[in-house]
Amino acid sequence: MQDIIQYFNQNPMIYKLLSSFIILMIYFKLIRIINKLLFKSIKDNGVYYTTRKRLYYVHFVILFVIFIIMWSESRLDLTIYVGFISAGIAIALREIFTNIAALLIIVIQKPFVVGDRITVNDRTGDVINQKIFHFVVMEVSPKTDGEQSTGKIVHIPNNYIFLHSITNANKGFEYIWNEINVMLTLDSDWEAAKAELEAIVNKHAQPLAEEAKEKVHEASRMYRLHYENLTLTPLIYITVKNGVIQLTMRYLTDPTNSRVTEDLIWREILQYTKDNPAIKLA
């Protein structure tokens, strides 16, 4: 044994090579054990893949620093090496750290909660779950297609709140303004049509306008809203463009129920124009 120790003392290069080989073998064995534990504990394949990938970065950084310490002739202070390791881990796991930081923002400031309809990074959907590293959204189709559920589940990283603007249809006073454009020919009796459209939209939207007044009053305590000047009752705007008369019905609706309300209004409009030859849709 003394001869072996003396041999290594006389040949430091061989000693370092042998030590590096042993460390690699031990570390590879440790990585395999960690991977088996992750595979058993993490059921989601996507989460397992991402976690394993991040840990590989950490393993690489740790091994890199260990080999620098072993092969370097200088004797740096231990705190410097610890700083290198910490910086490497922070860089390798930066997305995990930013996701956790974003979770704190979501929990404390509540830009959205489960059940809200939000748009982030051009994706719209209803928030159905909140997790440590991401939130889950049930995707809905674009407004032009009725904002109906597509059946797709979208996992969005929490740190997207730092990278993209978030639109929350439920934040504030819980309602949105919807518009329906009705095109009439120039020879139509637009005054009679306007009166009928007002009756139709008031029938479906006026009750919500009454409820919204209280919601706006509550929201004005949290946001700078001049609710006294807001017009919450349904309105009809008239415009002439491209050789037609355009009547725009503007009214409040629940963001998750806008297509149903629009369907009911259009049914009555079509029935009205069918029964009145003086009103012609363009």
Query: 91-134, pLDDT tens digit by residue?
Result: 666 777 888 888 899 988 888 888 888 888 888 899 998 888 88
176-275 CATH pick, 1.10.10, 3.30.1300, 1.10.3470, 3.30.70:
3.30.70
pTM recorded for the entire structure: 0.52
CATH 3.30.70 segments of the chain = 176-275
What is the C-alpha separation between 186 and 170, in angstroms, rounded?
Answer: 39
Instruction: Check: CB of residue 118 under 8 Å from CB of residue 174.
Output: no
The token pair that represents 131 in the structure block: 């997790």
Please write the tens of the pLDDT for every residue from 29-84: 888 888 787 777 776 666 677 677 777 777 777 777 777 767 665 555 556 656 66
The CATH T-level fold of domain 111-168 is SH3 type barrels. (2.30.30)
In sequence order, which residues have a C-beta less than 8 Å from that of residue 216 and are 6 or more positions away?
173, 225, 227, 230, 232
The DSSP H or E segment spanning 1 is: none
CATH 2.30.30.60 segments of the chain = 111-168
Please write the tens of the pLDDT for every residue from 2-17: 655 565 556 667 767 7
